[in-house]
Amino acid sequence: MELNEMELDALENKLAHPEKKVTCPRCGSELHVKFVKTASKVECPTPGCIAYTVRGI
């Protein structure tokens, strides 16, 4: 998935501040963040919209 700078900024902002309300720059829905063990995922609830995953050890 190709992300532009505004979309990437929104996803990174939500990841850095999960308590903050951040809207999707594509569709306007509120982004959601999930933390699972050593991974984090920020995604838009709209099917086929933007998502960002960070994994590590």
Span 1-57, pLDDT tens digits: 689 999 999 999 999 999 999 999 999 999 999 999 999 999 999 999 999 999 987
Edge-to-edge strand ranges of the sheet holding 32-36: 32-36, 39-43, 51-55
- The three-state secondary structure class of 32 is strand
Phi, psi of 53 (to 5 degrees): -125, 135
* CA angle at 33 for the pair 30 and 38, rounded to the nearest 5°: 170
Cα–Cα dist 26/51, whole Å = 11
What is the structure's pLDDT at 56? 81
| pLDDT attached to residue 19 | 97
pTM for the full predicted model: 0.88
Q: How far is CA 53 from the centre of its chain?
A: 8
